[in-house]
Amino acid sequence: MPTFLFDSIVFGPVRSRRLGVSLGINLLPLNRKVCSYNCIYCECGWTHAGDGNSEALPSRKAVREALREKLSEMREKGAAPDVITYAGNGEPTLHPDFAGIIDDSVALRNEFFPETKVSVLSNGSMIHRKSVRNALKKVDMNILKLDSVFPETVRKMNRPRHPFDLSRYETYLGDFRGEFIIQTLFVRGRCDGEVIDNATPEEVAAWLEVISRLKPQSVMIYTIDRDTPDGNELMKVPAGELHAIAERVEALGIPASVSG
């Protein structure tokens, strides 16, 4: 199926299923995806070997100027975004100036639209870096991925550059003291001949145990909605199943939202 890349530093605003009117920021190259994961459902397509080694990333100055220009334009039109969202063509926290860019973004938000939130959509692979954790503590919505707590399922679904270590991930999440949001995409089907299903009773029960320990601010539950890379046969998890999972999260005293 066709996928797409964002062709500018600032894009949108767009209507997000989870975030409302979202002004997107892409800290990665405009012509290829750069990510530490290779999720089988990614709308930006596959991550290819060598990505990030030679491609130029937008500078901190370029991001600041592009965001200032867009926010100024939106203020003139009287159109405030609900959220400024760091996502784009891969993993935003890979940018070497990520912490400084977040400082700039918070300052610009305060200048133009103080009520607008700043959010980061991240796979969490770089939170072992203290500078990344400190930067994420400054945003309003620190949204981190946890599609499964089983390393083998993570290998199949997310294909991380390095093996997934749940205990290590939990340790670094603990540094946020509950100031984060867990985002989980549930999907089933096949990819490269392997069966994929992170919505089985076993998967959900184990995932809920970890959610109970982590005690995030909230949990975002969703399923595929856009095109996925070629070569896989993936299906949406029905909305009824997603809502049933959300009810079990809320039974833990944790708010949950569903986008299906």
pLDDT per residue as tens, the chain (260 positions): 446 778 899 998 888 766 788 999 999 998 889 999 999 999 888 887 654 444 589 999 999 999 999 999 999 999 999 999 999 899 999 999 999 999 999 999 999 999 999 999 999 999 999 999 999 999 999 999 999 999 999 999 999 999 999 999 999 999 999 999 999 999 999 998 899 999 999 999 999 999 999 999 999 999 998 778 876 789 999 999 999 999 999 999 999 999 86
- In whole angstroms, what is the distance from residue 35 CA to residue 245 CA? 28
Supply the pLDDT for residue 132: 98
Supply the pLDDT for residue 51: 44
Supply the pLDDT for residue 231: 66
Closest CA relative to residue 22, chosen from 100, 110, 113? 113
What fold does the segment set 10-259 form as a domain? TIM Barrel (3.20.20)
- Give the pTM: 0.93
Express the helix, strand and coil content of the chain in percent, nearest 5 each: 35, 20, 45
Ordered by start, the domain boundaries in the chain are: 10-259
Which DSSP helix (H) or strand (E) runs through 222?
strand 218-222
194-197: strand order across its sheet: 194-197, 187-191, 232-236
Supply the pLDDT for residue 50: 56
Contact 251, 204 (CB under 8 A): no
- Helix pair 201-214, 166-174: axis angle to 10 deg: 30
In degrees, rounded to 5, the angle at the alpha carbon of residue 222 between the alpha carbons of residues 226 and 126 is: 90
Supply the pLDDT for residue 101: 98
Supply the pLDDT for residue 13: 86
130 to 6, 93, 160: CA distances (angstroms): 28, 12, 20
Residue ranges of E strands in 76-167: 83-86, 117-122, 141-145
